[in-house]
């Protein structure tokens, strides 16, 4: 794998076409099962979609919670699908992942997840999803190229999840001229969110639905 | 292809270094290179324990072997000579009620008996007296009917020998001899 190639997700550019899902499920190592999925954000108010691939955390929570020691990170920082002989299909990783990536394949009794197309990227090719994305929401390119092409965005790889700060191998494109905002998604768990922001409302001037104050 | 360079740092949720992490992180590392690494001490421990277990097993076999299946054996009627002359093969159990054995008529008045369990993996052997052999169908093992010794296939040890005695037209089993050579 060329060391300068990196994965960038730009949800702003995602048009929700699901091409990445279909390309992913063409892969011979998990034929018919997509390891990427499209998330709809505030679907009743917005058409915003977000492609979700494994972020390949530097400290993988899925591996930390695995009771069977089945989830491993490769030497170049890719968190792999659970090892078949070890995985006990307990779904701890599915519940623990801050990004909702691991999928429990009940028919195989195995957790399967995106490994950034290890078979392709290790031989210098792009991941399946990045080759088909028509709008550049999924990009596999050198960082310098992305920074020069996307004048209004900058990549970040730091996320907050409750008390936990997560750094990842995969980058998320955020507005270049805005300060970093960390949304605490676990705040929604608490009954009385003190001053923590829960909702991810992006359209401030959206019409208020009838009957809602 | 050269192994990829580790460009991604391993961090921990509390942002402390690995020596300050709880022991389970060092015992169950997440990264493949650390997980595959076998320390010299672990390897030596494995070698000592497994070879010790093998040695202890050999001692146990040596100690337990001589005291096993050494009589006194019961005197048990197998068949009448007339019956054996007619049927040529008689199945019986000896020395207890569960150990299957075969009594064979090799010629007029010439009787032998063997344990029926193949010395390879204890399948039941099938006599073929017209060819003078016993056949184990599991892995195509062959024993000669004359002495119960292996002639072909995986078995390396002869079948256990059952000593017979003929008294007043009745064939009795009087001894059971597991053989290694």
Same domain, B154 and B95: yes
pLDDT for A191 equals 57
Same domain, B130 and B154: yes
pLDDT for A62 equals 93
Examine the pLDDT at B107 and tell me if it is beyond 90: no
Helix (H) or strand (E) holding A141: strand A138-142
Q: Which residue of B has its CA nearest to A64?
A: B30
Q: B3: pLDDT confidence band, cut at 50, 70 and 90?
A: very low
Q: Is the pTM of this model over 0.80?
A: no
The reply to whether A138 falls in a domain is yes
What's the pLDDT tens digit per position in B78-101? 999 998 888 889 999 988 899 999
Given an 8 Å threshold on Cβ–Cβ distance, is B10 in contact with A56?
no
Same domain, B33 and B60: yes
Same domain, B80 and B60: no
What's the pLDDT tens digit per position in A182-211? 666 666 565 555 555 555 544 455 455 554
What's the pLDDT tens digit per position in A134-182? 999 999 999 999 999 999 999 998 888 877 888 899 999 988 888 777 6
The reply to whether B9 falls in a domain is no
Same domain, B82 and B165: yes
From chain B, the residues in CB contact with A59 under 8 A are 10-13
Same domain, B40 and B96: no
**Which residue shows structure tokens 């204890």?**
B122
* Residue B6 DSSP symbol: -
Domain of B53?
18-64
End-to-end C-alpha distance for chain B, whole angstroms: 54
Residue B93, C-beta contacts closer than 8 angstroms, at least 6 positions apart:
B99, B100, B101
d(CA B70, CA B93): 17
The reply to whether A49 falls in a domain is yes
> In the numeric block, which tokens belong to residue B27?
């015992």
Q: In what order do the strands lie in the sheet with B141-144?
A: B126-128, B133-136, B141-144, B150-152
Residue B56, C-beta contacts closer than 8 angstroms, at least 6 positions apart:
none
Same domain, B27 and B52: yes
> In the numeric block, which tokens belong to residue B156?
């390396």
The reply to whether B41 falls in a domain is yes
pLDDT: is A102 or A195 the higher one? A102
User: Count of CB atoms within 10 A of residue B79's CB?
Assistant: 22
What's the pLDDT tens digit per position in B15-57? 788 888 888 888 888 888 888 888 899 999 999 999 999 999 9
| Average pLDDT score, chain B | 88
Examine the pLDDT at A104 and tell me if it is beyond 90: yes
Given an 8 Å threshold on Cβ–Cβ distance, is A75 in contact with B28?
no
Same domain, B93 and B131: yes
pLDDT for A3 equals 64
d(CA B160, CA B111): 15
d(CA A103, CA A81): 9
From chain A, the residues in CB contact with B13 under 8 A are 59, 61, 64, 164
Could you tell me the CATH number of the domain that includes residue A41? 3.30.70.20
d(CA B105, CA B143): 15
The reply to whether A99 falls in a domain is no
Total number of domains in chain A: 1
Out of B11, B12, B32, name the one closest to residue A74 (CB). Answer: B32
- Among A5, A42, A203, which Cα is nearest to A123's? A5
The reply to whether A77 falls in a domain is no
Total number of domains in chain B: 2
Examine the pLDDT at B66 and tell me if it is beyond 80: no
Mean per-residue pLDDT for A68-81? Answer: 91
Given an 8 Å threshold on Cβ–Cβ distance, is B5 in contact with A74?
no
What's the pLDDT tens digit per position in A24-48? 999 988 999 999 999 998 888 889 9
d(CA A12, CA A14): 6
pLDDT for A43 equals 87
d(CA B46, CA B75): 50
pLDDT for A49 equals 93
Same domain, B90 and B171: yes
pLDDT: is B8 or B155 the higher one? B155
pLDDT for A188 equals 59
Domain of A157?
5-60+115-175
d(CA B181, CA B163): 17
Tell me the CB-side half-sphere exposure of residue B118, using CA atoms within 13 A: 26
ipTM of the complex in this document: 0.70
d(CA B96, CA B93): 6
Interface of A with B (CB under 8 A): 1, 3, 56, 58-61, 63-64, 69, 71-77, 80, 122, 164-165, 167, 169
Angstroms from A103 CA to nearest CA on chain B:
19
The reply to whether B111 falls in a domain is yes
Contact (Cβ atoms closer than 8 angstroms) between residue A49 and residue A14: yes
Helix (H) or strand (E) holding B89: strand B89-93
- Percent of chain A predicted with pLDDT > 90: 60
DSSP readout, B93-136?
E-SSSSSEEEEEEEETTEEEEEESB-TTT-PBPEEETTTTEEEE
């Amino acid at each position: 794998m060329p060391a300068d190639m990196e994965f960038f997700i730009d949800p702003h550019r995602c048009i929700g076409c699901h091409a990445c899902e279909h390309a992913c499920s063409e892969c011979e190592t998990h034929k018919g099962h997509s390891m990427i999925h499209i998330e709809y954000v505030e679907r009743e108010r917005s058409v915003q979609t977000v492609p979700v691939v494994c972020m390949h955390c530097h400290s993988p929570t899925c591996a930390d919670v695995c009771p069977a020691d089945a989830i491993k990170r490769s030497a170049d920082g890719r968190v792999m699908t659970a090892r078949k002989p070890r995985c006990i299909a307990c779904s701890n990783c599915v519940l623990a992942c801050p990004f909702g990536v691991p999928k429990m394949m009940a028919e195989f009794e195995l957790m399967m997840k995106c490994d950034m197309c290890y078979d392709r990227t290790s031989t210098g090719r792009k991941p399946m999803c990045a080759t088909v994305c028509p709008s550049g929401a999924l990009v596999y390119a050198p960082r310098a190229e992305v920074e020069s092409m996307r004048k209004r965005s900058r990549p970040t790889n730091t996320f907050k999840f409750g008390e936990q700060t997560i750094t990842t191998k995969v980058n998320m494109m955020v507005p270049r001229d805005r300060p970093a905002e960390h949304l605490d998604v676990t705040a929604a768990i608490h009954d009385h969110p003190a001053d923590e922001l829960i909702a991810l409302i992006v359209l401030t001037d959206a019409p208020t639905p009838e009957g809602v104050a | 292809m050269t192994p990829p360079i580790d460009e991604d740092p391993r961090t921990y949720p509390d942002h402390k270094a690995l020596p300050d992490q709880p022991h389970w992180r060092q015992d169950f590392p997440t990264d493949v290179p650390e997980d595959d690494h076998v320390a010299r001490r672990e390897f030596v421990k494995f070698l000592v324990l497994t070879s010790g277990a093998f040695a202890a097993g050999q001692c146990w076999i040596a100690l337990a072997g001589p005291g096993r299946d050494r009589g006194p054996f019961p005197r048990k009627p197998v068949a009448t000579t007339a019956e054996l002359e007619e049927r040529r093969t008689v199945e019986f159990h000896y020395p207890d009620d569960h150990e299957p054995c075969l009594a064979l008529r090799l010629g007029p008045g010439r009787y032998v008996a063997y344990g029926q369990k193949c010395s390879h993996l204890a399948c039941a052997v099938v006599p073929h007296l017209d060819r003078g052999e016993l056949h184990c169908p599991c892995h195509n093992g062959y024993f000669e009917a004359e002495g119960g010794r292996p002639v072909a296939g995986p078995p390396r040890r002869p079948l256990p020998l059952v000593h017979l005695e003929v008294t007043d037209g009745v064939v009795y089993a009087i001894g059971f001899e597991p053989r290694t050579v």
